[in-house]
Structure 1
Amino acid sequence: MNRDIYNKTITVDGVDIFYREAGDRKNPSLLLLHGFPTSSVMFKNLMVALSDKFHLIAPDYPGFGFSAFPDKNDFEYSFKNVAACISRFTEEIDLKSFTIYLHDYGCPIGLRICVNHPAKIEGIIVQNGNAYLEGIEPVWDEIRDYWEYPTEEKKQKVYAFLSKEGTKEQYYAGLPEELLIRISPETWLLDWERMSRPGNLEMQFEMNCTYKSNIEMFPAFQEYFRTHQPAALVIWGKYDPYYSVEEAHCYKRDLPNAHIHIIDGSHMVLESNFEEVVELISSFMPLA
């Protein structure tokens, strides 16, 4: 049984995309799309655990992890453009059909792929991923106010999450005390090291400001659900301070057969509730 992870790079429209691959391509494929502020590193343990049954692919977005960080004059850091890049990435590696794992930023990125290429999607796994307004109210009020009425003072408040402490909080915020010891510090420290590259924080801020386009896409995402009825697994850490647990059950509106699981974690349940998540995915994924 081969549980090795292979670390690769492929050029997609002039941008070097780093990705991790594990498992036999003859098995059902799972495309793993990371959130902010991390990268494919968040999936390393999951890839090892599932590589005996599935084929797993985890890319880093441009400007994230170990993918290239092209100048913003050469690459538009928007959710629309990153989604187009990752969609092209799947073509370059000849990934024809797959279940897609949607976490945080990876949710609107991946759902754009679903909307544009529904025939490729065998199923969706949503892990604290946003496609309904209930997930961002009222937590996102301050940043949404900045999007609509930007001022330098508001920018400084919104920009505060782009810090070493803000990066750490993505892993620890809301998590019950007894689960804190499950968080490995090297992951968020790697995230912060990558974000500390010259110009990366400004890029991260500018990309975050395009999140408004994702909210505008919510009706299209929901129409995709209603029309195509992909098999769906929704996993939600109920203490997540960024995406409200109220959203998890919203998926049932458009995907009545979705499996909804609320677990005692926060935003990064692969760190705090690993065994539980592995069991849920293993039960959901189709076998070869």
Structure 2
Amino acid sequence: MKNTNRKSTPFKYQTPRDGEVRAKKHLGQHFLTDEPTAEKISESLTFSGYKNVLEIGPGTGVLTKYLIKKDVDLKVIEIDWDSVAYLKENFPDLEGHILEADFLKYDIPSIFNGEPFAITGNFPYNISTQIVFKTLENRDLIPEFSGMFQKEVAQRIAASHGNKTYGILSVLAQAFYDITYLFTVPPSVFNPPPKVESGVIRLTRKENYDLPCDEALFFRVVKTAFQKRRKTLRNSLKIFQLPDNLREDAIFGQRPEQLSTEAFIDLTLKIQPYAIST
């Protein structure tokens, strides 16, 4: 995935003269600087049932140094040229294991040749939810996922129904993974410090992660319901043009945040005979 045209401009692949890699605002970078926090994140994976680990956005390798010590095949994926140059210079063990690419655009099955792998990292705030959705799309290959998010996003992913932060991301992630909120991280351990706290969570894929309903319809129902989260499902799901006798079911009198993931699956099964998933 290397861009040979970019290589023709050598200064882009060199670290700054003072040896420091500076965080880039447009990439949403906040480099972790606290060693104990990095070690705790490295311990957030169980390393059970797989031998491959992908770190997203290693930056200056603060977390990477602890992952290298694990008995796993580690690869890192990094879009920032300065960070790639720094990693190559300071982590010789990563030779041949650095992917110079955008995770969101990468062919995920090719990373470990179709073998299962875990994901971890200190994720850029501006793409963290997209990373989760990309993971859900490739859940067959990803039994475990851990990492650092903006605290609000981490709480949203882990939120249970009935909570104000519970939403689309909560339902979809919890349909396929068990979520554990592990610990909170203060802004002071980053360079530059973000304006908010961060949170580390772990997603462990469920033993049975195949839905008993039409998956595309399930996604559609969840997203449609939360687009008008203050309305009851009877009103927010009008687009499905369901028969009146079905809409009289008690579940349609509830608002979306009142439904657990399992309840959304049941709702989809009720709708499925009348709706065409697109």
Band the TM-score falls in, shorter-chain normalisation = 0.3 to 0.5
- Report the TM-score when normalising by structure 2: 0.36
Q: Which structure has the greater CA radius of gyration? A: 2
- Report the TM-score when normalising by structure 1: 0.35
